[in-house]
């Protein structure tokens, strides 16, 4: 049995986070809503050290190797999952749940009273992750392009 281990990221994790980010973004290819999400979430790339210094970033590890991450945005009473990703081979063993649990704990400690996350349409795994933590949909946003693209 795997005991999911999650910790706060340090600048030393930047190269591993960059690789996980690249894998996460590639995994979005072809998913509904992905193009807009990618536009709204620019590549962090070499900027991971600055992100880690500015906001809580959690890393999930398996045998000392990062297999997932969560970026938490704190804004007063609102805490929001900006990104969450777990490598496909490390899913369904609790890493996502532990990432979310640690981020909720950090949000409470920071004084947040509301916790939000996003999931792309059809991304049942992410929706299930949130629902297991008691985070349920409060709004569904629909849209269409009017310029034909």
**Cα 98 to Cα 77: distance, rounded to the nearest angstrom:** 22
Q: pLDDT, tens digit, for every residue of 75-133? A: 999 999 999 999 999 998 999 999 999 999 999 999 999 999 999 988 899 999 999 99
Q: What pLDDT is stored for residue 80 in this prediction? A: 97
- Does position 1 have pLDDT exceeding 80, yes or no? no
Q: How confident is the model at residue 22 (pLDDT cuts 50, 70, 90)?
A: very high
25-77 per-position pLDDT tens digit = 999 988 999 999 999 999 999 999 999 999 999 999 999 999 999 999 999 99
CB within 8 Å of 73: residues ≥ 6 apart:
55, 79, 80, 81, 82
Q: What is the fold of 5-132?
A: Aminopeptidase (3.40.630)
Whole-number pLDDT of residue 8: 98
Please state the domain extents for the chain: 5-132
Query: pTM of the predicted model, to two decimals?
Result: 0.92
Q: What single string gives the DSSP state of each residue in 72-111?
A: EEEETTEEEEEEEEE-GGGTTTTHHHHHHHHHHHHHHHTT
Taking the C-alpha atoms of residue 124 and residue 138, their distance in angstroms, rounded to an integer, is: 16
CA distances from residue 138 to 115, 116, 148 in whole angstroms, order as listed: 12, 10, 30
């Amino acid at each position: 049995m795997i005991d999911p281990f999650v910790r706060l990221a340090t600048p030393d994790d930047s190269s591993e986070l960059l690789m996980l980010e690249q894998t996460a973004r590639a995994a979005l290819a072809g998913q509904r809503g992905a193009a807009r999400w990618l536009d709204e979430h620019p590549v962090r790339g070499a900027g991971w050290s600055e992100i880690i210094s500015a906001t809580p970033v959690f890393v999930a590890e398996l045998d000392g190797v990062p297999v997932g991450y969560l970026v938490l945005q704190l804004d007063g009473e609102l805490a929001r999952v900006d990104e969450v990703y777990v490598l496909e081979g490390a899913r369904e063993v609790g890493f996502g749940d532990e990432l979310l649990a640690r981020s909720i704990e950090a949000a409470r400690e920071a004084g947040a009273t509301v916790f939000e996350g996003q999931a792309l349409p059809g991304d049942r795994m992410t929706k299930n992750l949130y629902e297991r933590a008691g985070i349920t949909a409060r709004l569904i946003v629909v849209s269409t392009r009017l310029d034909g693209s």
